[in-house]
Every structure is written in C-alpha cells, then in structure tokens.
Amino acid sequence: MSTLEDFDELRNDLFSHVDVLIQHSENYYVLCREAAKREPVDGGRAFNLIRRAVGHEIVSRLYRLIEDSNDATNFPLLMRMLNDDSILQLLMPSFNHDGRQSFADLVGLRDGVLEQFEDVQKSEYFQKVDVYRNRFVAHRVPSPRNLKRYPPSANVTELSSAELRWLTDSLAAIANRINYMSARSGFPAEDIARLAQFEAHALWNLKPPAEPDFLESFFDGDE
C-alpha cells in the first residue's frame, strides 16, 4: 500500500515536469508565430530548427507523462494511487482542514480526475502524439504498429501547436484539481505560462506580451 509520502513525492515530481512542459510550450508558441517571418532572413533556417527541436521535446514529454506502462513514473501511476481509497483517507485531514468538506466530496473530486485523465489518454490528440513520436522522434518507424488500434485521423505526419496545447492544458488542469484534493490549493499554471511568455519574448527580442487587464475581466460579468 502506498503511503502519503509516496503520493506526495510522485505528485511533486510529476507536477514539476508539467511546470517545465508549460514553459517549453509557451516558448514553442512564440517560435511558431515567428517562424514565417524569420524563415526568409539570415538565421531563419536555424530558428526553425530550434522550433522543430522544441516541438519534438514537447511531444516526448507529453508521451512519457501520459502513456500507460506499469514500470514508468507517469500520470497513470498517480491515477492508480488515487484510485485507492486508502490514499484518499490519508488526504482527508488536509482536504478537510476547515471542517467544511466530506469524504464523499473528496471521492467525487477523485472520480472526476480519473475520468478527465482517461479522456486525455483516449483523445485523438494523444493518439496523434503517439503516432508522430514513433515516426519522427523516437524509433523513426514510418508505419507505427499503434496505427492498427487508432482511427485514420491519428495517421499524421505533423502536429499543430493547438493540439499540443490542449494536452498540456489538460495536464495542468488535472494538476490543479489534485492539488485542491491534497491541500485545497491550486497549481499555478497561468503564472508559470505568463513568466515563460515574457522570457520567450525577451529571448527573441520581441515586444513584451500585453499585461492582462484585471479590472476589465472583473467587470465582464456585468455586461
């Protein structure tokens, strides 16, 4: 049986990888937006090589975090821990620190997380990542065997940044829900992304991204 220390160690390890994944992703979005403008000028080909390398790194990281193998340190292992009610019993004191939550509330959150991750694993986006990785990143197999169990839509030779963003955002949302279950706290995905955006713009000598207008978002609900 897993201990609370085992769970916390795995959770912290995986969420640190999600942190880095978000940073890579924000850099990749900037590279993709700049690619067409940079290609014709000096250094453009090198710029696009960097863009491709970052994209492949994101594909590799997503695959390793989501794929289901019993001997890997990945999200499926965390899901197996969460599926054990004895772990939920250990999480209950911190989850219910103010006496306002029940064990049924925690179970409901857990079941939602398991369902959300299953949707990620079964998504067309992850199927595409799996096929693309085998073709161009990992084993360089022109016709991966996994195509036999996937629909024709997974038979890809390229991936869009939007598809990679959906998987990254999904893992960040799962991390946020698990941190709430663990200690009624969140996962700072937006803060991580915002800092990475500024760093990417500074690295490539671009105008800094616009600061969010918090007052505008506050009054949106009155319209």
Instruction: Count CB neighbours of 75 within 10 A.
Output: 24
Q: What is the pLDDT of residue 40?
A: 85
Phi, psi of 2 (to 5 degrees): -75, 150
And the tokens for 57? Answer: 């790194």
Asked whether the predicted pLDDT for residue 223 surpasses 50, the reply is: no
Phi, psi of 140 (to 5 degrees): 60, 55
Asked whether the predicted pLDDT for residue 131 surpasses 50, the reply is: yes
Tell me: the pLDDT tens digits for 140-191? 899 999 999 999 999 999 999 999 999 999 999 999 999 999 989 999 999 9
Q: What is the pLDDT of residue 41?
A: 86
Asked whether the predicted pLDDT for residue 81 surpasses 50, the reply is: yes
Decide: 181 and 94 in contact? Cβ < 8 Å: no
Concatenated DSSP letters of 110-179: HHHHHHHHHHHHHSHHHHHHHHHIIIIISS--SS-GGGGGS-GGG--S---HHHHHHHHHHHHHHHHHHH
Cα radius of gyration (the chain)? 20
And the tokens for 161? Answer: 């940044």
Average pLDDT over residues 111-139: 96
| Position 214 confidence tier, pLDDT thresholds 50, 70, 90 | low
Say what the pTM is.
0.91
Phi, psi of 206 (to 5 degrees): -105, 160
Q: What is the pLDDT of residue 13?
A: 97
Asked whether the predicted pLDDT for residue 44 surpasses 50, the reply is: yes
User: What whole-number distance in Å separates Cα of residue 125 and Cα of residue 189?
Assistant: 20
